[in-house]
Amino acid sequence: MHLILFIVFAAFCLAGAINLLLQTHPINSALSLIVVMTSLAVLYLLLGAEFLAAAQVIVYAGAIMVLFTFVVMLLNAGREERTLGSKAATVVGFPAVVALLAVIATVVLHTQSGGAAFGDNLSNQPGSTNLEQLSTVLFTNLLLPFEVTSVLVLIAILGAVALARPHDQERTPGE
Amino acid sequence: MTILQFFLWSLLKVIVVTVVLLTGVAYTVLLERKLVGRIQNRWGPSRVGPFGLLQPLADGAKLFLKEDIMPTAVYRPLYLFAPIIALACALISIAVVPFGSPTVTGPGGFHLFEISDINIGLLVILGITSIGVYGIALSGWSSNNKYSLLGSLRSSAQLISYELALGLSLVGVVLRAGSLNLREIVENQGAHGFLSWNLFGGFQFVAFFIYLMSAYAETNRSPFDLPEAESELTAGYHTEYSSMKFAMFFMAEYANMIMVGCVATLMFLGGWTSPFGDLIPLPQNIVIQSLLPIFWFVLKVFSFLFLYVWVRGTLPRFRYDQLMNFGWCYLMPLAILNIVATSLWLAY
C-alpha cells in the first residue's frame, strides 16, 4: 500500500516538476509547482512525518504559492518566448546535474548501509507524537540556530519594508 | 477488522456525511434568506412548500436546468477547474470533524461519528482551507474579466491576511489542550458543561472574538464581503460563471460557513459535549446516548450560522483599506498578545 502510494505521488511530483519547466505560461508553471509541493507533502506523510506534511501544505502550497499566483495575476504576465538557450548552460549544466545526483546518491546509499534509516528519530516511538519530538529537538538541541533563523527572517522583513517604502522625494506634500 | 470492512465503513460514513452536509448547505441558504427577510421586515421565500421549505430544491433544479454559458475569451482549463477546487476543498475538511461522542462505537471499535481521527486534525483543516484560495483566485483570473480579476485579487489578499489572525487565534486553544487532535481538544473542555468551554472557563474569549472576525473574512461574508461587493464589482470572482458552475461556488461558500461553524464549535464551544455537563444524567438508552451529542453539536453550529446571518443583516460593508488595516494592525497583534497571555497563564 505504501509502495503504491509512493510510486503514484512520486510520479505526480516528477510530472509536475517537468511540466513546470515545459509550460510557457507563468500561471501553468505556478500551478505545476503547487502539484509538486502537495505531492511532496504526501511523501512526507508516507515517511511518518505528518506535522511536516501539514506544514508543507499550509506554508508552501497554501501561502507562498498563493503569493506567486497573486503576483502572476496582478502583473498579468504573458507567455514567455522560446529561446534556444545558451550553449554554456548545456555544456556546464548536464555534467553538473549528473555530479550533483551522484553526490546525493552516494550519501543516501552510505547512510542506508550504515544501518540508520531516515526518520528513525522522528517517528515510530509509541506514546509521543511527531510534533512533540520535533519541538523538543528544536527548542533544546537546536535552540540557538532556531532563534538565529528568526532574527534572519526579521532582517529580511525589515529589508523588504525598506525597499517597499516610498522614497522621500516621491512623497506627496500632504503626507 | 479487515481492510474490506474498514473500506466499506469509511465509504458509508463519507456518503452519509456528504449528503448531510450538502443538505445542510441547501438549508443554510434558506435560513439566510428567511432570516434576512425577517430582519428587513418581509417574509422571505414562502411559496414553494410549507413555509417555503422546498425552496432549496426548486433553486437547485433551476440551476441544473439553466443554460451553461461559456464566455469566448476565458482560459478554458482553469475556468473549468476553479469551481471544482473551490467546492472540493470546502467539502473535504469535514472529514476530520468529530460530530458525536467517541464512546459509542460500531463493530470492531469503529468510530461512528467521525470519518477519520487524525492527530493533526486542526492542521489538516487549516491546510485544506488554505488550498481553497486557489478556486477563487484562478476563477477570477481565468474569466478574463476586470471585475472578476479585481474580485479574486481582493479575495486572495484578504484570505492570506486573515488566515494569519485565524491561525494565531487557535493557538491559545491548542496550548490549553496540548494537542492538535480535535477530539482531545473537545474532551479537554467537557468536564463542567459550558463553564469549562474554552470560550468561558478557558478565558479564550479574546481568541474567540478574533476567530469570529477572521472567519467572516475567510468565508467572504458580510461585513467583509468585498470580493463580491455588488455595488463595485457586479458579482466579483464569479461574474462570468453560470448554471451549475455558479452553483458550485455558491455551495462552496455555504459549506465553508458550516465548516467554520464546526471549527468554532469544536475549539471554543465544547464540541459535542452537553452545555449542562453532568447536571442532566445521560439516559441509559444507547440510541439517545449516541444522538444527544449530535444534537448539541448541530445546535451549536446552527447558532453560529444564525449569528452569521444576523451580522449580515445588521452591519454595512467595510471599505477595503479598513479591512486590511483591521486585520494587520488590530487582529494580528491582539492574537499574538493572546498567545503570550495564555502561555504565561499556563506556565504559572
Residue A124: inside a domain: no
For A27, A75, B46, B198, the CA distances from A82, given in Å and listed in that order, are 16, 20, 61, 58
- The answer on A74 and A140 residing in a single domain is no
Share of chain A above pLDDT 90, in %: 7
Instruction: Note whether A49 contacts B: Cβ–Cβ < 8 A.
Output: no
Nearest alpha carbon to residue B58 among B68, B48, B46: B48
Residue A71: inside a domain: yes
Of A58, A61, A66, the CB nearest to B137: A66
CA A125 to chain centre: 27
Give residue A118's pLDDT band: very low, low, confident or very high (50, 70, 90). very low
What grid cell was written down for A146?
532556531
pLDDT at A152 over 90: yes
Report the alpha-carbon distance of residue A64 to residue A59 in Å, rounded: 6
Q: Are B198 and B166 in contact (CB under 8 A)?
A: no
Q: What are phi and psi of A171, to 5 degrees?
A: -70, 145
Between chains, do B153 and A70 touch, taking CB under 8 Å as contact? yes
Does an H or E element contain B106, and which?
A: strand B105-106
Chain B residues touching residue A70 (CB < 8 angstroms): 137, 153, 156-157, 160
Between chains, do B160 and A66 touch, taking CB under 8 Å as contact? yes
pLDDT number for residue A113: 63
How large is the ipTM? 0.75
Give the strand pairing for B110-111 and B105-106: antiparallel
Residue A116: inside a domain: no
For residue A45, what is the domain's CATH number? 1.20.120.1200
| Residue pLDDT, tens place only, A57-94 | 888 888 888 888 888 877 766 666 666 667 777 788 88
Residue A32: inside a domain: yes
Q: Which domain holds residue A147?
A: 129-166
Residue A162: inside a domain: yes
Closest alpha carbon within chain A to B143: A73
Give residue A155's pLDDT band: very low, low, confident or very high (50, 70, 90). very high
Closest alpha carbon within chain A to B181: A129
pTM: 0.82
Q: Find the range with the poorest average confidence among B115-124, B139-148, B271-280.
A: B271-280
Query: In a 3-state reduction of DSSP, which class is residue B210?
Result: helix
Residue A109: inside a domain: no
Query: In a 3-state reduction of DSSP, which class is residue A119?
Result: coil
Residue A99: inside a domain: no
- The answer on A76 and A5 residing in a single domain is yes
Instruction: Note whether A17 contacts B: Cβ–Cβ < 8 A.
Output: no
Cβ under 8 Å to A: B residues 50-109: 78
Number of domains in chain A: 2
Which domain-ending residue is among A58, A80, A102?
A80
Residue A173: inside a domain: no
Give A72→chain B minimum CA distance, Å: 10
Instruction: Note whether B160 contacts A: Cβ–Cβ < 8 A.
Output: yes
CA B111 to chain centre: 23
Give the mean pLDDT of chain B. 82
**Best B93, B117, B150, B160 residue to mutate vs chain A (most A CBs within 10 Å):** B160
Please report how the helices B205-218 and B286-314 are oriented relative to each other, as an axis angle in degrees rounded to 10: 70
> DSSP readout, B129-177?
HHHHHHHHHHHHHHTT-HHHHHHHHHHHHHHHHHHHHHHHHHHHHHHHH
pLDDT at B294 over 50: yes
